[in-house]
Every structure is written in C-alpha cells, then in structure tokens.
Structure 1
Amino acid sequence: MSQAPKRVPMYIQLKNYILDQMNKGIWKPGDKLPSENELAEQFQVSRITVKNAMADIVKQGLIYRIQGRGSYIADGASEQWITYEQQETGGGSLVAFLMPRLNNLFTANLMAGIEEELSHHGYHLVFRLTHDSQPLENKILKELTGLGVKGIIIYPVEGETFNEEILKLTLNHFPLVIVDRYLRGLDTNSVSSDNYTGAYEATMHLTRLGHTKISFISTAVAGTTSIEDRLHGYERALSDSGLYIDYRLRLSLNAASPVEQIKTYLADNPDVQAIVATNATIGQMAKKAADFLKIRVPEQLSIVCFDNSEQSDLFEVPLTFMNQNEKAMGKESAKLVLSLIQDPTQDRRNVVLPNTLVIRSSTASAAGPASIPASASGIEAQ
C-alpha cells in the first residue's frame, strides 16, 4: 500500500510564493513587500506563519527589513540563484477549493464532503472565498497555481458564463472540477445535482396538490446554469400539467431588500397559490414576506425550496425542500479531482447526482391540508 503524502507546512507554501514572485520579476530589487498583515489576510493564515516564511528568506539575504517601514527585496537578489523549498514533505497533497461565500448549510455541507474525501486519501484542503467577484476569482486561481496545488475545485461566482483562467487551466489539462453547476461553452469537468429534474419534481408536487398559480422566485437567472436549469424544469412541469407559462409568475430578485421585493410581489399578485424558491434563503424570505402580509403558510400559500436550512426542524413551519445531498456532491467532486491528478488527460466528465423531495409542513392542498403518501418514489416525509 502506498504511503499517503505528507503535508507541506503553510509557511513553506508562503515562502515559495514569495520566491516565485521574485523569480518571475514581479517583485524586483528595491520593491517593498506586502506587510505581514496583508499577507496574512490574503492567504488566510496567522502573522506567525508569515513571520516564519519571511525569516527564512531574510536569512538567505534575499530581503531585508527596516524597522517601522517594512520588508524590501535586496539589491543583489536578482543575481542570486533563488531556490524553492523542496516538496518532499508533500506539496503534492494540496487541493484548493474556491467558493463565492460560506454562509449557509448547503455550502458548509459541500465543503465538509470535499474535505472528508480528500483527507481520506491523504490530501489537504486549501480554502479561499471569492466573494462572488470574478476578478478576485481569477487572481486567486493564479496565486494557487503558483503555490503548487495539485488540483482545484471551484464553485463559480453567480452569473459567470465564461472564465479565461478556467479555460487556460482546462486546455493545459490542469486537474480542475466545477461544482454545483457548469459553464456553458467551456468543456470542463463538473459535478452537480440534477437541477432540471429537481425543479420539475418540486413543481409537479405543487400541481398534484391542485395549485395552478405557481411562482418561481430566484436570484438573476442568466449566466448561472443551475438556476437556468431549474427554471426550465419548472416550466416543463407546468406544461406537462396543462398549465399556461405565465411570465408574471416569475420573480428575479436583486441584492437590495429582497424581502421587500417579495412582499411587493405577493401584494401585487394575490392569486399566487404556491412558490418554487431556488434556495433555502429565498424560501425563508418568502415565508417572512407572507407572514408580514398575514398570508398563512401552507393554508393560503405553499412553499417549496431547494436545500435545507440550519435547525429548520425548529421552525414554526419547516419548509418542504429538494435535498441535493450536497455532502455527496462534495465527495464526488473530490473523487473526480483526485482521479484527474492521477490522469490529467482522461476524457471530460459531467457527474449529475439525483435529488430527493422532502415533504414537510409548508405545502398543502389548494383545498386544505395535504395528505401525501410517503411511499412515493424519490420522496421522503418528515
């Protein structure tokens, strides 16, 4: 049995990054280096880690420090042979995960699945937030490849349709996996849930309860394939149920006061009987807006959302939700990136995982409380 690779200490990774910037001429003799606080924030490490990395380079005479002013590249640094710390301690064990935000149960479970699978195979996770900024996403991708990570899993920023850095990495057969969605026009490896079928089943659940005015509430649709596919699944379910596709029943939220937007929408469209929300946060916002307007859930308004909320079983009305099994999604993305590390030139793969509808108390018959058989295929009752 092969021995699992050992972890490269973070200070060595940081040291190699600094040396790489010097070797490439990005930082030249006389240039002032970023402060310890700036480097610590950039790489999400402690100042002690930064100090250790800098101390090694100071000993080599490649940089010098001026008390109260900072660290600078030594004048003779470009004339010296700058060598990286050898990776025998296991630099190949690092896999990076980029995510727009880490603010809900879905993203937490997704990362947990990735970390669990990587650690099982002796790999270590480097996690970075992109804050839904494509320029920051590109910057981090460049930094991580410079640090020598062996693979990258990326949850793209919302609305992203194309990314030049991802294209470059893909064309160079760098082990990279897109998770949660895919990018149209880019032939990349990806792992996602079956968003189309999930939205189809969520909508069909509502039509079977007798609802005919079913709203679709999401963030901006264009450019985010997971939301686009959910919209198409919703529309197909309406069509298959003999219902007219009414664009008035679609609400695309922006970042400014989304609860207020839903309040206004429901007040202006009192015939809405049910809502398909594209995530748990929107589902909870719809419930809050309904409460404000004294619309009773589920007696007057049924709500289905994608994903669960933390401690949702303690809510007054737990929402019916489409379970994407995000931890399994994380595990599959980790398995795929590890496979690509072993064979970067293998055929591209798009892994699609099934969803399960979990019925709770936020959905009911248009004529009254629902009585739904728990034995229906692909459905769980709670």
Structure 2
Amino acid sequence: MNKPLYQAIYETLRDQIESGVISIDQVLPTEKELANSYNVSTITVKKSLDLLKEDGFIVRKPRKGSVVINNQKTDYTETKKIVGLLITNFTDFFGAQILRTIIKSQEEEIHFIVKISYGDQETENILIQELLEIGVQGLVLLPTSSEYTSPKILELISKNFPIIVIDRLMANLPICSVQTDSFNAAKDLTNYLFNKGHEKIGLIASDNSVSTIDERINGFLAAHIDQNRAVSQNQILSLIDSVVPNSSRSIEEDVGIIRTFLMNNPQVTALFTTEYNIALLAKSAIEEMEKQVPEDYSIVCFDHPAANIFDLHAFVFTHIEQDQTAIGKHAVEVLKKKMIDPKLIEKVNLDYKLVSGHSVKNLE
C-alpha cells in the first residue's frame, strides 16, 4: 500500500533535515513553493509541515515561515512539559545557580528552553512570542522591568497561562512570583552598619526600574526610621547606569560620579550598595581618592561571587547572600502547581543570610 503523499513529503523533508542538507535556522520554502515542487495541493503540504512541527523539527513563525530548529526528532512524553525560561542575564554572583537549579529539573518532568533578553524590552517581547510559537506550556520569567509589563504577558495572565516571575515582586499583578525578602534584608544590612558605629551611611543604587532595587532602598530608609535616625536625599545616589544591561555609560564615568558623591558627603563613613558590581565601582572610586576599604570607608552589598578557597587573600564584601537554589526550586514547584491549578496565585518571599566579610570597619 502506497504511503499518503503528505507522509512521503514529510519523510523527504525530515531526511534532508537530519542529513544536514537543510540546516538548522534555515527557512523552508513556502507552502505554495513546496506544493509546486511536489505537484500536490497546499493542504497536503500543510499536513507534512504539521508533522515536522509535531516532531520538533520546525516552528511555524508568522511572516517568516517554517524555520528548522532541530535536526533530530524530539520525543517528549505526555508527562514531560515544555517550558520557556526567559531571563535578563546571569552572572557568577547572581543568576547562575538559579539557572542551574531550574535546568536540572528538566531531567525529571520539564524540558526548559532557555532564552536571554540582555535587559532589552523589545528583545524580551520577541523572545516571549517565539517561545509561545514553539508551543511552550509555561514560562519562568526574570523580566527586564517591574514598571513595564508587555501586552503579551498581560494577555497570558488574563488567560491564566502558567507564568512564574523570579526576582521581581510584581505586587500589582495577579501573577505567581518567587523572590528574596529584599526589604528586610536591606534593613538588616543597614542595621549591621549602625551596630558597627556608622552614623552617616550613603546609599548607591542603579537607575534600573526593578522592584528588588526599590525594596532595598525602602529597607534602607525603614532602618533609619526604626532607629529614629535622620537621612537626607544627599545621602542617596541612584544614578549608576553602567551596571544596567545594554547601558552606554562607561564604568569610568560611574566611578567618577561616585567619587564626586563621596567628596560632597564628607560625613559619610559607610556605603550601602544595592548590588555587587556597584560595590566594586565604589571601591574603585575610594581607591582613586587614595583611600582604602575598610580603613576609610566601609561597604556592604547584595550578592557576591563564591570565594576561591585557593585565594588566601581574596577580598570579600559584607553582603546579603540570597538562596538561589531555593529560588530555582520554588520557581519549578510553583510552576507545577500553576499547571494543575491555573487560577493559583502564589507569591513566595524567601529568607537570606547576612555574610560578614572584610569591608566593614568597627567604629565603636
């Protein structure tokens, strides 16, 4: 018995993809062009392309056509879900362990397709659309912004599509999230400096519009209020830009801005920085002033790369250590629950650890 025409065309195209005649990322001819080549109807060709899509060889993209994404059949069982993991970026001090933890879970029930937006909102929107076209059944998202939410995300939220946001609060949206309790962590870090005898503490943050930075600033201010300590706007510098993805500002320019900030605030003895890279910039600015950390200025921050045990002279900032493994595990756990119960809204706020390093001088 002869094979159906659509099956024969499917096998021909499949063989060409598997052998490399048609390469990954190549766009197949249009349905009309294939129909003319094989002297069949476009309906027959569409059935062939649907089979290629079902077996994971291609995705069908509007206005672009059928794009080859794999050169071998992808056999996902019914129990294995396909989920998009879209993050801004990851580093050794924040993100890498979250990424490893989440991806490790794909050995069990979920296959993750990882995309990186590098902090660009337009890229983020495009990647979300691509993941949806591939047919993902959920999204784990570290968004570029807490202030802007793409229309596509809002549409998915309205449909109860499984989305888990990590490292962002997204308090005003009915969306599941997993993050560290940045507010209380910032309070503890600020109180640590107070307890070491520091009366005037400067705060240095980026101008990135994410909720975690706002929470850290609010925690810093709340610590002052709780201890009935005055804090002025002059003590806060929130213009650092070189640490923001896709920034055009040079590192040297931001170091200069911090140096000017310190010169204008001679009463400041310690700096609360909202992330590790800003702590490094502050340390460089202090050294350019021919001062030292912690002898002349103390610095604390959020996150820190793991110290190399063979580097006996490694400099470690006093910092808040986030439980990145827990963030990854909770993200996957909440995602699974959301897939079962689409109406679930769960916001997880995780604990943290304050790690004492070499960057704070005791003034008492």
TM normalised by structure 1 equals 0.73
Compared CA separation, residues 169 and 233, structure 1 to 2 (3 A): same
| In structure 2, distance between residues paired with 1:176 and 1:50 | 34
Query: Could you tell me how far apart the structure 2 residues matched to 1:147 and 1:334 are?
Result: 20
Q: Unaligned stretches of 5+ in structure 2?
A: 1-9, 11-16, 56-73, 243-248
Match of 2:286 among 287, 290, 314: 290
Deviations 1:234-254 (A, max 9, x none): 001011122102111111112
Secondary structure of the structure 2 residue equivalent to 1:283:
helix
Once the two structures are TM-superposed, the CA of residue 117 in structure 1 deviates from its matched residue by: 2.9
Determine whether 1:239 maps to 2:225. yes
> How many angstroms does 1:143 deviate by?
1.1
Name the stretch that deviates more: 267-276 or 198-207.
Answer: 267-276
Q: Distance in 1 between matches of 2:305 and 2:114?
A: 23
Residue 370 of structure 1: aligned partner: none
Judge conservation of contact 2:146–2:168 (CA < 8 Å) in 1: no
- For 2:181, the equivalent position in structure 1 comes to 194
Give the aligned partner of residue 51 of structure 1: 23
User: 2:350 matched to which residue of 1?
Assistant: 353
SS at match of 1:264: helix
1:90 counterpart residue number: 76
Tell me how far 1:147 sits from its aligned partner: 0.5
- Measure the CA separation in 1 of the matches of 2:223 and 2:133: 47
- Match of residue 361, structure 2, among 364, 375, 380: 364
Which SS does the other structure have where 1:144 is aligned? Answer: helix
Amino acid of the structure 2 residue aligned with 1:129: I
- How many residue pairs get aligned? The number is 310
* 2: CA distance, partners of 1:146 / 1:112: 25
TM superposition shift of 1:63 = 5.1
Q: Cα distance 1:311–1:158, how it changes in 2: closer, same or farther (>3 A)?
A: farther
Find the aligned partners of 1:150 and 1:86 in 2 and give their Cα distance. 14
**Are the structure 2 counterparts of residues 246 and 49 from structure 1 closer, same or farther at C-alpha, using a change threshold of 3 Å?**
farther
CA contact (8 A) 2:307 2:314 kept: no
The 2-side partners of 1:178 and 1:107 are apart by 13
Instruction: Look up the SS of the partner of 1:81 in the other structure.
Output: helix
Match of 1:108 in 2: 96
Question: How far apart, in 1, do the equivalents of 2:346 and 2:92 lie?
Answer: 28
Tell me the alpha carbon deviations over residues 167-217 of structure 1, each in whole angstroms, 9 at most, x when there is no partner.
Answer: 111111111100001224321100000010010000000011111111111
User: RMSD of aligned C-alpha atoms?
Assistant: 3.0
Q: Match for residue 341 of structure 1?
A: 339
Q: Structure 2 vs 1, CA of residues 202 and 51 (structure 1 numbering), >3 Å: closer, same or farther?
A: same
Letter aligned with residue 115 of structure 2: R
The equivalent of 1:209 in structure 2 is 196
Q: Deviations over 1:292-346 (max 9, x none)?
A: 212221122111100012547646531011011112111111111122223323x
- Give distance in 1, aligned partners of 2:21 and 2:231: 57
Tell me, yes or no, if the aligned pair for 1:162 and 1:185 is still in contact at 8 Å: no
| CA 1:164–1:318: 2 relative to 1, 3 Å | same
Are the aligned partners of 2:201 and 2:271 in contact in 1 as well (CA < 8 Å)? yes
Q: CA deviation at 1:53?
A: 7.5
Distance 1:344 1:50 in 2: 39
After superposition, residues 8-47 of structure 1 pair within 5 angstroms as none
Q: Does 1:156 align with 2:154?
A: no
1:323 aligns with 2:321: yes
Residue 175 (structure 1) aligns with:
162
**Corresponding position: 1:269 with 2:237:** no
Is the counterpart of residue 81 in structure 1 residue 53 in structure 2? no
CA 1:294–1:53: 2 relative to 1, 3 Å: closer
Query: Separation in 2 of the partners of 1:158 and 1:249?
Result: 25
Identity percentage of aligned residues: 25
Counterpart for residue 216 of structure 2: 230
Local SS of the residue matching 2:86:
strand
Query: Residue 153 and residue 48 in structure 1: after superposition, are their counterparts in 2 closer, same or farther (change >3 A)?
Result: farther
SS of equivalent to 1:131: coil
The match for 2:87 is 99
Tell me which amino acid in the other structure corresponds to 1:336: V
**C-alpha separation between the residues in 1 aligned to 2:40 and 2:350?**
56
Cα pair 2:185 2:216 within 8 Å, conserved? yes
Partner of 1:280: 276
- SS of the equivalent of 1:135 reads helix
Instruction: Report the CA distance shift for 1:81/1:325 in structure 2 as closer, same or farther (over 3 A).
Output: same
Q: Retained in 1: the 8 A contact 2:31–2:45?
A: no
Q: What residue is the counterpart of 1:67 in the other structure?
A: none
| Counterpart code for 1:366 | L
Q: CA deviation at 1:131?
A: 1.7
